[in-house]
Amino acid sequence: MIQAAVLALLLDEASVRSIHEAIEARKVTCVQVVQHYLDRIEAYDDNGPALNAIITVNAHALETAAEMDRLDRAARARRPLHCIPVVLKDNFHTADMPTTGGSVTFKNLQMKEDGFVVKKLRDAGAIIVAKANLHELARAGTTVSSLGGQTKNPYDLTRTPGGSSGGTGAAIAANFGVLGTGSDTGQSIRSPSSANSLVGVRATRGLVSRAGVMPFSTTQDEAGPIVRSVEDAARMLDVMAGYDPDDPITAFSAGHIPRSYTSTLDRNGLKGARIGLLTDVIGTEPIHREVNQVLDAAVAKMTAQGATVVRVSIPKLDELTRGLNLMNLEFKAAFDSYLAGLGSISPVKNLAEFVARGEVHESMKRGLDADLAVTTGPGSPEHQQMYRRREALRQALMNVIAANKLDAILYPHQKRLVVPIGEDQADRNGVLSNSTGFPALTFPGGFSAPTATAPIGVPVGLEILGPEWSEPVLFKLAFAYEQATHVRKPPASTPPLR
């Protein structure tokens, strides 16, 4: 049997490519791959630093891995994610584990079949090893729930892992899996990616199906990858993207999906690029200093790699983005429709019944009461006005891109470091993507200075945004930066197993 230390060298910080190479070289079996990640979950989720990132471990994962070990090379080659351990945010439907949304009410909610994205991942050979905690019903940004409790940031156990997909973020950062899924209504893929030195992609609206994911906002919800490298994000999006008749907005993706997003990856991708540094969303207070230092260093590195970085501004951007979200107007209708679609398997029939049970985390109650009282939902004048405001922001972003001949816009995902546990997230810039439908990619920019609680510093994530269907450009730019800097470092709280 391979010793844990040897497996750690092979599998900690592993990628899709490196695992496939190790399997083909017969250095490791699929069962050993999966067991390694299960061992890390056991060692570090409830024990050790007790990250509290995982809600459910898949009892069938090793059995599935054993079946994969019996496949021949040709069969393995047809599966682009063969034997790749995946951690799902626990609002993605699965046929073999409950889908809880982090809610005590839904702790036994068992779907009859996988959701669209989960099925595509499994068909590609991925193995779902666990489902991760999230901010309850994906409604906020600190990853605390009535069922899962509070998840910790593995880089600084006194801070949150971002949210709402913070369980996935902490799990992938701590090597509980290779790939992870998140959902992003506000900034819920990109916030945990920023906070955990990861890559997260909020794709163009319509590129990835939301069917089979618990809803928050029919307009703003998106699903996407949370991973450790740009290449793995591209590989995962290759599998996730595509038309789903159960989510008709995905019809707009036709003709916009390349043969493979990995074909756009280029180590020299920054050479000749023109990137706009959006100064309006950069903090100016002392609390923003450490993030700004990382941003300045990243701009210098991009420039050294051949990019032209120009400072740009959007007139009245604060006015354009203030209070701009459709979540509160859409949640009640979306949630009621979702529960009705579940039929008899759901323990509640609508939002009113859910709230009446009183089982949610205390921090959720005020917001849910407000949503329950909403009478100006989809189709209302307020909703139509919000759509007009979204169009104004889309136009403003396209104006600055066109006027400055930009390939992408750059900014810090969060103006300050991710907050300590017990505080609400502040100063996030996710609105630029979630309120336009434009794609955004968050990637590791660097770290703050080390402290007693953050021995290698707190991760700082940078974000690039482009027009609709510009994912190939975003991948190219982020990959070039990643390869030139190799910023990511694993957290000290979850070291290799021995």
Helix (H, G, I), strand (E, B) or coil at 341: helix
Assess whether 365 carries a catalytic annotation.
Answer: no
Contact yes or no for 193/89 (Cβ under 8 A): no
Residues with Cβ < 8 Å from 116, sequence gap 6 or more? Answer: 209, 211, 212, 244, 246, 247
What b-and-e string marks burial along 332-354, b requiring 16 or more CB atoms within 10 Å of the CB?
bbbbbebbeebeeebbbebbeeb
Q: How far is 143 from 161, CA to CA, in rounded Å? A: 7
Q: How far is 216 from 187, CA to CA, in rounded Å? A: 13
Helix (H, G, I), strand (E, B) or coil at 409: strand
Helix (H, G, I), strand (E, B) or coil at 277: strand
Q: What is the DSSP letter of 24?
A: H
Q: How far is 2 from 10, CA to CA, in rounded Å? A: 11
Helix (H, G, I), strand (E, B) or coil at 180: strand
Q: How far is 493 from 498, CA to CA, in rounded Å? A: 14
Query: Encoding tokens for residue 56?
Result: 């459910």
Catalytic residue among 145, 165, 183, 188: 188
Contact yes or no for 181/226 (Cβ under 8 A): yes
Contact yes or no for 211/218 (Cβ under 8 A): no
Q: How far is 207 from 223, CA to CA, in rounded Å? A: 9
Q: How far is 138 from 144, CA to CA, in rounded Å? A: 10
DSSP state string for 202-261: EPPTTSB--TTB--S-TTT--EEEEESSHHHHHHHHHHHBS--TTSGGGGGGTT---S-G
Helix (H, G, I), strand (E, B) or coil at 132: strand
Assess whether 164 carries a catalytic annotation.
Answer: yes
Helix (H, G, I), strand (E, B) or coil at 490: coil
Catalytic residue among 103, 145, 146, 164: 164
Assess whether 344 carries a catalytic annotation.
Answer: no
Q: Cα-flanking dihedrals φ and ψ of residue 410, to 5°?
A: -115, 140
Residues with Cβ < 8 Å from 156, sequence gap 6 or more? Answer: 451, 453, 454, 458
Cis peptide before 194 (omega within 30 of 0): no
Count of residues in the chain: 498
Residues with Cβ < 8 Å from 57, sequence gap 6 or more? Answer: 38, 41, 129, 130
| Closest by Cα among 362, 419, 412 to 162 | 419
Q: Which residues are catalytic?
A: 89, 164, 188
